[in-house]
Amino acid sequence: MAGKERRMSASGSLITSARLLLPLLAAFITAGAGVRIFRGRPRHGIGQRPWTLFLALMVFGLLLALCITVERWETEPKQPLLFLAFWVVQWLCFILAGRDGMKAELVGFFLTDLGLMIASLSGPSALLTQLLGIVLGIAGFYLLRLLLRTPRLAEKFRIPSAVLCIALLAVTLFLSEDVNGARSWLTVSGITFQPSEAAKAFYVMSLALPETRLPKKTELILLTAFSALCVLLLVAQNDLGTALVFFAGFLAAVTLYRGGFIAAAAGILGAAGGSAIVMRLGGRAAGRFESWGRAWEYANDAGYQQTRTMAAVASGGLLGLGVGQGWLREVYAASTDMVFGVLCEEVGLLVASSAVLLILLLAVQAVWAARSGKSPYLISCACVASMLLVVQTGLNVLGSLDVLPFTGVTFPLVSQGGTSVAACWWILAFTGTDRLPAFQPEAQERGETEQ
């Protein structure tokens, strides 16, 4: 009995210490990643790898893993081994980063740590699925980075990527079953996945500006038609949140084209008209908009999830109640659509805000770097991918807090789901490409060569 009391006392002390250290580490990682994102290419070999930042990230993940181990050790003793596997993956990526160090990977690892925390408290099978998605995503991340080192080669995949994107969305529409009013999931040999998540990476490659020629009006028209078809397929699936994410990517892409603002304006008008039609037809989407901004009036109906999320955010405060100590995760879809509320409740508003800020920093960096980049393809890839991540994050966070309509999209790399985390890592590969040689202006490359 005394031994059990000692264990309970030790676990309580660990949770208390973690509540204090996690926000500090999150703030340090966010500030360091911001400096890393906007810092120019280092001129010398010493100090190029962000050792301090990476070690802080490892400590952050260690604290999360220890808290989860305290919470689940007696029932799930194998979970620490899965976290150890992820640490091995992180160290391998740190070594593979080479002399240029890490950039987008640091943001990805921080968000992935939080995602593993969410999945681990849902059971070992969910954690294993999440880890497999992470490995698949990181492998795709480095394959895409290798391809992007030669933009002229990467742009040859624009048309095949567009065909694959449409094929994935069409197959999902016609072969999937209706789940909670949406047709977004496919099951093959007992494995369930969401093709629209994987389609996002192909969508980015399809929208990017060509490297070898100036875009013409015909190409802009084809791009608009392709994006409209993708959005219509998603609307037909009743996946309006993902449709809005795709539409935001289209706006980011066409504004980089000559005359693209006209296409953007036409797209906005078309989206407004389509939204009005969808609302008149009623159904699940209309119900979401009916309770928008009035969730507390529908607290036990259409606003059930939003009101519980807001209550959880308030109960967690700045530091959170401790990993595994929250109640929101018992609500349906808490680990996916309402994951921001789970973060706020268990690890605090400071850590949850750091996750959002890191994604915003990637977007700002993409726009900042676009001013000096010489590769149109890499510039547009970074801008479109960043737009997808930002809009998806905004819909997840603000939708669950009833600031925007609750659309049910995931938080990139944090929400539970193997398909989602793999696809987000692939999209992350298109950000931070300003350190690739093909991105750099000629003058800067010559200056580095001389040095």
Mean pLDDT of 183-193: 72
Residues of the chain above pLDDT 90, percent = 24
SS3 breakdown of the chain: % helix, strand, coil, rounded to 5? 70, 0, 25
Mean pLDDT across 361-375: 80
* Global pTM value: 0.88
pLDDT of res. 341: 93
Residues whose CB is less than 8 angstroms from the CB of residue 352 and which lie 6 or more positions away in sequence, other chains included: 340, 343, 344
- Whether the pLDDT of residue 250 is over 60: the answer is yes
Quick one: pLDDT band at residue 50, thresholds 50, 70, 90?
Answer: confident
Q: pLDDT (tens digit, 9 = 90+) per residue, 377-424?
A: 888 888 899 999 999 999 999 999 988 888 888 999 999 988 899 999
Q: For residue range 73-125, what is the model confidence (pLDDT) as tens digits?
A: 655 667 777 778 888 888 888 887 765 557 788 899 999 999 998 988 777 78
pLDDT score for 395: 92
Give the model's pLDDT for residue 372.
72
pLDDT tens sequence across 54-75: 889 999 988 888 888 776 665 5
Q: What pLDDT is recorded for position 43? A: 46
Q: pLDDT category, 437, cuts 50, 70, 90?
A: low
- Looking at residue 91, its pLDDT comes to 86
Q: What is the pLDDT of residue 186?
A: 76
pLDDT above 70 for 47: no
Q: What is the 3-state secondary structure (H, E, C) of 382-411?
A: HHHHHHHHHHHHHHHHHHHCCCCCCCCCCC
Residue 329 pLDDT > 90, yes or no? no
Residue-level pLDDT at 183 = 72
| Helices assigned H by DSSP within 73-189 | 79-96, 104-120, 124-148, 151-154, 158-175
Mean pLDDT across 287-292:
68
In this predicted structure, the answer to whether residue 4 has a pLDDT above a threshold of 50 is no
Separation of CA 165 from chain center? 19
Tokens of 162: 């567009």
Domain regions of the chain by residue span? 2-40+50-450
Residue that wins the pLDDT comparison between 433 and 352: 352
Beta-carbon neighbour count of residue 27 at 10 Å? 15
